[in-house]
Structure 1
Amino acid sequence: IELKFHYTVHTSLDVVEEKVSAVGKVIVDQRELYLGLLYPTEDYKVYGYVTNSKVKFVIVVDSSNTSLRDNEIRSMFRKLHNSFTDVMCNPFYNPGDPIQSKVFDSMVSSMMVQTC
């Protein structure tokens, strides 16, 4: 199942690149890009988000979860982006290192629990 997620996420990153290059030509001054549904499969829906610094976030949701609306997915991305920004702004974080933040981990875990 983990290999299936890797394939799904990598495939969706290709879609992210296509959307970013297409949108980037039209919208130059936008701080964040919610890309919406990227890659629906029979089992999962993959959503994408790109910041103005080209950091890409991907959320994979079970297709059977019909209770999640687009604005809720967008809100999840905003929370993820804000928490990620907090980690990056930490003076003790070295860019490029793996994120080792209990606050970040608990925020991501709480998002996962909410969607299950």
Structure 2
Amino acid sequence: MVHTSMDVADKTISTRGKALVKQREPYLGLLYPIEDYKAYGYVTNSKVKFVMVVDSSNTALRDNEICSMIRKLHSFCTDMVCNPFYNPGDRIQSRAFDKVVTSIMIQVC
């Protein structure tokens, strides 16, 4: 499911065209719904892609809530990567980051 969502994200990004690069919205919205799950996408300026998979039965989650959760995750990932002690490509090991991810996952569940 995640691989298919990545393909849909790539196609969505490429169909937006180069003319809209300055106006590009990073949140891609619903990428791939199946019976039990829905996959939402987000792409950064540096072409890093986030895919959030949620349970389809969770009707309390709205599109704007998913978007804000992914933006929050992106913000904390950026903070971790900008840390001068972080080596690019290494796994992010931070209690603060773990707390943010846990709080996001609690909202989804």
Runs of 4+ in 1 over 6 A off after TM superposition: none
Over aligned residue pairs, what C-alpha RMSD do you find? 1.3
2:84 paired with 1:87: no
* Residue 4 (structure 1) aligns with: none
- The 3 A distance-change label for structure 1 pair 24 and 46 is same
Q: Is the aligned partner of 1:63 residue 2:56?
A: yes
Q: 2:65 aligns with which of 60, 65, 72?
A: 72
% same residue: 70
* Equivalent residue number for residue 36 of structure 1: 29
Structure 2 unmatched ranges of 5 or more:
none
TM-score, normalising length: structure 2? 0.93
User: Cα distance 1:64–1:107, how it changes in 2: closer, same or farther (>3 A)?
Assistant: same
* 1:24-46 Cα deviation digits (max 9, x unpaired): 43411147510000000000000
**Cα displacement (A) at 1:91:** 0.4
| Structure richer in helix, relative to its length | 1
CA distance in 1, matches of 2:37, 2:108: 13
Unaligned runs of at least 5 residues, structure 1: 1-7
